[in-house]
Amino acid sequence: FVPDTLREAITLYNAVDWGTVQTKGGRTSVTRVELTPVTGRGHQLRLHMASISHPIVGDYMHGNEHTMDEHDQLCLHASK
């Protein structure tokens, strides 16, 4: 990041379901969440979830082997 260029970013979240998925690191517990970005910053949802130790499944930038699914797909889906 460039000093003095950071801007506020706000994301609301709500846990809606729990379960497990098969990842490259083995079977991993996951939580399905509904995320609502209040501001629109680049990678905001991915960064916010990683910052609270809950990276999005498939997020190779902010996760690890326990968050990478067997298809290398980011599990982030939009809806209205």
Residue-wise pLDDT for 24-63, tens only, equals: 888 888 899 999 999 888 889 999 999 998 898 888 888 8
| pLDDT bucket at 15, cuts 50 / 70 / 90 | very high
Q: Given phi > 0 = left and psi -120 to 50 = alpha, else beta, which region is 67?
A: alpha
Token pair for residue 25? Answer: 């690191």
- DSSP one-letter string for 25-66: TEEEEEEEEEEEESS--TTHHHHHHHHTT-PPTT-TTT--TT
Report yes or no on whether pTM surpasses 0.85: no
Map residue 78 onto helix, strand or coil: coil
- pLDDT of 1 strictly over 70: no
Is the pLDDT at 2 greater than 80, yes or no?
A: no
Mean pLDDT of the chain, nearest integer: 86
